[in-house]
Amino acid sequence: MKTLLLLRHGKSSWDAQHQLDHDRPLAKRGRKAAALMGRYLTALDEAPEHACSSSAVRARDTAGRAAQAGGWSCRIEISEHLYHASPDQVLEVVRKTDGGIARLLLAGHEPTWSLLTGKLIGSASVKFPTAAVARIDLSIENWRDADFGRGTLVWLVTPKILERIGWEDAVS
């Protein structure tokens, strides 16, 4: 069994000084949400063993803030293959993951994360808000065997849900 964690980048800034989509940074709300999700994964004992982020600034920053806030020990690899990627292209990144890694986190974008999640678990329609994290268990022994229809969506959590239920207050 392998566990894939999909983290969508946090809310990004639409400040006019960032002309290129690739260079858009996180907004204040996105930075806060990324840290919250990192702490949440650690509290669940779900911190990744390896993380790979899209090369876009907002995705890299989301992964970095989540890792720092959660105290993750894993390295974050940056991949241009996750920016503007199709679900098939992301699946190829997954398949190249070292077989010894049990829990992989990918940080990326919409609409890819919704489409990828739906295809991995069969043919579902999934909504993936900013800074949400999904856990998908794949019934495989090696990442090279990852394929559509082989996953089970265990949970999908958003920062808004955690804030509404006062999650951090409850665990403090």
For every one of its 172 residues, what pLDDT tens digit does the chain have, with 9 covering 90 and above? 999 999 999 999 877 566 688 988 999 999 999 999 999 999 999 999 999 999 999 999 999 999 999 999 999 999 999 999 999 999 999 999 999 999 999 999 999 999 999 999 998 999 999 999 999 999 999 999 999 999 999 999 999 999 999 887 766 5
Which phi and psi (to 5°) does residue 155 adopt?
-165, 160
Q: Are strands 133-138 and 2-8 parallel, antiparallel or unpaired?
A: antiparallel
The reported pLDDT for the residue numbered 171 is 64
pTM of this prediction exceeds 0.85: yes
The reported pLDDT for the residue numbered 169 is 72
Please name the residues in contact with 156: beta carbons below 8 A apart, sequence gap of 6 or more: 117, 126, 128, 132, 133, 134, 135
63-89: string of b/e by CB count within 10 Å (b at 16+)? Answer: bbbbbebbebebebebbeebbebebee
